[in-house]
Amino acid sequence: MNYASFGISVIALLPALVLCIYIYIKDRVEKEPIGLLAALFGIGAIAFAPALLSERLALNTFDRIFAESMTYSPEGFTSFASVTAKISHQALCSFVGIALIEEAIKWICLFVFTHKSKHFNSLFDGLIYSAFISLGFAAVENVRYSWINGWDTLLLRSVTTVPSHLFFGIFMGVCYTVWHAYHTAAIKEKELIDAGKLSETKFKKSKLWLTASLCLPILVHGIYSFIGSGIFGWLNKVFYIFIIILYIVCFIGINKLSKDDGSNEKTAYKWLLRKHTELDASALHETATEGE
């Protein structure tokens, strides 16, 4: 049955919009431009289309790989020749066919459209950018599934799937913003070395944080999809426990980063002084003045 209507579409968009407003309010040090955030939300929404097509291709491929182990009943149920085949198939679908594709596409959008932005100057910025892209993606996905499955699915997804996309975005955004501050510190360190004020490079692993900004949300999303797949009945309880844990961890994380928010440059200076104990704070300001 097709449930597509203007009313259900508006209601399906509301959870994502409410969460966007919440995240925007939490950006307390320096508000990001509304136009930029709206653009990121729109980019996330557009990203749903290539993700959906890629997922269909991947899931159909996995079905063909496991074809000899799968049988279909007249009622449409799928059974497997062994538990191992069942778990392996679902793991591939969850971690690769869904989590990897969706989070990689969102991550590419995040990096391409924000890593050189002049507005990316505070610790909370990476989180809010990632959150808006993720919620744009979640909004369109929620509308689509509401059209297909109706109000029951809409209500359930509004408290599970839509917030979960935000949570995946939080894991992505926190790692991404740490990378950005770390990268800023590495650039400043190189300037100090070139100026003869430092002789040793200590910021060598900033790319680990950038890698984590992709891998961590894929892992969390994969676990979410796997235990929420209904592959085993007892996993349903685990699924809701997992969502509750995500709610607690991520909202605590949002509030903490909001409270501790500050300039990327000041954070980079603090890390430089911690790594290079021989460095005088005045050297940082002198180099900054020379670069102006």
Using one digit for the tens of pLDDT, what is the confidence trace for 171-206? 999 999 999 998 888 888 888 888 778 777 877 777
CB of 173 within 8 A of CB of 127? yes
Find the helix packing angle between 161-194 and 281-291, rounded to 10°.
90
Q: Which amino acid type is present at position 77? A: F
* pLDDT at site 292: 42
DSSP annotation of 195 reads T
CB of 231 within 8 A of CB of 87? yes
pLDDT band of residue 279 (cuts 50, 70, 90) is confident
Rg value, the chain, Cα: 22
What percent of the chain is predicted at pLDDT more than 70?
96
Residue, of 258 and 266, whose pLDDT is higher: 258
Q: What is the mean pLDDT of the chain?
A: 90
Indicate the length of the chain as a whole number.
Answer: 292
Determine the distance from the C-alpha atom of residue 254 to the mean position of all C-alpha atoms in its chain, rounded to a whole number. 13
CA torsion 231-235-240-241 (nearest 10°) is -150
* pLDDT at site 118: 93
Q: Which segments within 117-225 are labelled E, that is strand?
A: none
SS3 category, 33: coil
Chain segment 13-69, per-residue pLDDT in tens? 999 999 999 999 999 988 999 999 999 999 999 999 999 999 999 999 999 999 989
Q: Which two tokens stand for residue 97?
A: 């066919």
CB of 188 within 8 A of CB of 268? yes
Which residues 6+ apart lie within 8 Å of 10 measured at CB?
Answer: none
Distances 6 to 12, 13, 143, 201 between C-alpha atoms, Å: 10, 11, 10, 58
Task: Check pLDDT > 50 for residue 167.
Answer: yes
Q: Which two tokens stand for residue 10?
A: 């508006």
How much is the average pLDDT of 205-232? 94
Question: Which of 144-148, 241-245, 269-273 has the weakest average pLDDT?
Answer: 269-273
For residue 141, which of 102, 96, 91, 94 has the smallest C-alpha distance?
Answer: 102
Chain segment 108-159, per-residue pLDDT in tens? 999 999 999 999 999 999 999 999 999 999 999 999 999 988 888 888 899 9
